[in-house]
Amino acid sequence: MRDIQAAITSGATSQEWQHLTLPESYRALTVHKDEVGIFEGLSTAERNPRESLHIDEVALPEVGPNEALVAVMASSINYNTVWSSIFAPIPTFEFLERYGRTSPLAARHDLPYHVLGSDLAGVVLRVGPGVQRWKPGDHVVAHCLSVELEDPAGHDDAMLDPEQRIWGFETNFGGLAEISLVKANQLMPKPAQLSWEEAASPGLVHSTAYRQLVSRNGADMKQGDIVLIWGACGGLGSYATQLVLGGGGVPVCVVSSPEKADICRAMGAELVIDRSATGLEFWRDEHTPNRKEWRRLGGLIRDLTGGEDPDVVFEHPGRETFGASVYVARRGGTIVTCASTSGYDHYFDNRYLWMHLKRIIGSHFANYHEAWRANELVRRGHIHPTLSRTYTLDQAAAAVCEMQQNSHHGKLGVLCLAPAPGLGVTDQARREKFAHRYNFFQTHDR
């Protein structure tokens, strides 16, 4: 790995990168197939990622057609790493086995360990046959859509490909590692004004929020739209808030602490609800929704907006909030959901949906075009990283726990081959132009 780090420090040419001898193995954050039963009988909250996550030395996979090996300088933690680490709702080895059965090349992914991680910023080491656009030495970020595109269904919107997978969750060789294997059509140019860890942080959540809110495949948000954003200071929400502000909308941010409310205001959002302070409880008990509280939320939103209801509700908490989300959306409004963190058996009162002509849209990650457009917004300085804390690869399990306990703000970064934070900036002038936007989350770090 020293050769790779030296090549980065010395600014090696593409030829030099091409001739760099690659190691036979590398360090990676993994879960083990023979441990999927260790949490049996425990609730998801009781499952401790520290017990299942390992740092292992794993074999370097061969690079196949239309693939690339990337030296990972930094990665970030996403909620899917929490799911993988607690083997819920199902162990991710089931995805790897299913993928492995599809072709001899895919069989490489079906291993007794799973290298996790769905974000990276780094340097291309090798490209496989057929790759034209990228070459060794290129500074890149990777989005997490792994797609085969052999089926016509995926050629209108790649997210509809039946062989669509999330890299590092439903495939092996993810980004929380020193080296990663990606499809070449996951690569995008690294924003030059950002450090490695900053560049690795928007990828998955920002692209997801972009499709959910901005794309025609999602809510197709318009200027002036009022958008209710759950978890506005979390991974998805911190980018959703920026996208709404940048697109001429009005975010109504929901968070759970005064610190998080301050961060939303620092981002430029004026309308913020602290759900802890207001004591909103949408369920009387496990089986009984509390409609009074739906109405109370609607009232709180109207108090902030001057009597308006949300045109769009940005949903992901799931069971806990979904009934309220459907209730508070404006007549003709849209509820766009990409997740169910608090449970996927949702409850809502359908009268409020059909009588008021609302729509529920399911959304999942983003196609290459959407991810590229989202990355362009970061490159041009319209959207900024929301990194609050950076860990080393050895400390990654602690970062996963922080996310599981909802004690983080924005995004958590992980240094893989980068020896220290703050490296990798290649356009200092551009950085200075936007630097004041980078520390809303860091200054609020506890």
Tell the smallest beta-carbon distance from residue 290 to ligand NAP (Å): 13
Nearest-10 crossing angle of helices 235-246, 203-213: 50
Chain residues 133-192 in contact with ligand NAP, contact rule CB under 6 A: none
Both tokens of residue 335? 């509820």
Q: Which helix (H) or strand (E) holds 326?
A: helix 322-328
Residue 109 vs residues 81, 242, 436: alpha-carbon distances, Å: 17, 36, 42
Nearer to ligand NAP, 50 or 331 (CB): 50
Q: Per-residue contact track with ligand NAP, 417 to 446, x per CB under 6 A?
A: ------------------------------
Site string for ligand NAP, 43-82 (x = CB under 6 A): -----------------------------------xxx--
From 48-56, 94-102, 181-189, 317-325, give the range in contact with ligand NAP by CB under 6 A: 317-325
Q: Which of 204, 229, 313, 387 binds ligand NAP (CB under 6 A)?
A: 204
The answer to whether 308 touches 328, Cβ cutoff 8 Å, is no
Judged by CB under 6 A, which of 97, 163, 320, 376 binds ligand NAP? 320
Residue from 63, 106, 226, 338 that binds ligand NAP (CB under 6 A)? 338
Of 100, 231, 249, 413, the one binding ligand NAP (CB under 6 A) is 231
Nearer to ligand NAP, 316 or 346 (CB): 316
The number of beta carbons lying within 10 Å of the beta carbon of residue 126 is: 21
Instruction: Tell me the site size for ligand NAP, rule CB under 6 A.
Output: 30
Residue 338: exposure state from Cβ atoms within 10 A (0-12, 13-18, ≥19): buried
Helical residues (DSSP H) of 201-312, grouped into ranges: 203-213, 235-246, 258-267, 275-278, 291-305
Residue 321 in contact with ligand NAP, rule: CB under 6 A: yes
Q: Tell me if 230 contacts ligand NAP by CB under 6 A.
A: yes
Q: Which two tokens stand for residue 330?
A: 């404006």
Kindly indicate which of the ranges 66-74, 186-194, 234-242, 264-272 contains the residues binding ligand NAP, using the contact rule CB under 6 A: 234-242
Contacts of 355 (CB under 8 A, 6+ apart): none
C-alpha closest to that of 363 among 241, 210, 143, 166: 210
Q: Phi/psi of residue 384, each to 5°?
A: -120, 150
**Residue 169 and residue 95 in contact, taking contact as beta carbons nearer than 8 Å:** yes
Which of 196, 365, 372, 391 is in the footprint of ligand NAP by CB under 6 A?
A: 365
Residue 89 preceded by cis peptide, ω within 30: yes
Exactly one of 72, 159, 236, 397 binds ligand NAP (CB under 6 A); that residue is: 236
Which range touches ligand NAP (CB under 6 A), out of 172-180, 214-222, 226-234, 288-296? 226-234
Binding mask 245-284 for ligand NAP (x = CB under 6 A): ---------xxx---x--------------x---------
| CB atoms inside a 10 Å sphere around CB 89 | 10
* Interface contacts to ligand NAP, rule CB under 6 A: 78-80, 204-205, 208, 230-231, 233-237, 254-256, 260, 275, 316-317, 320-321, 338-339, 341-342, 364-365, 403, 406
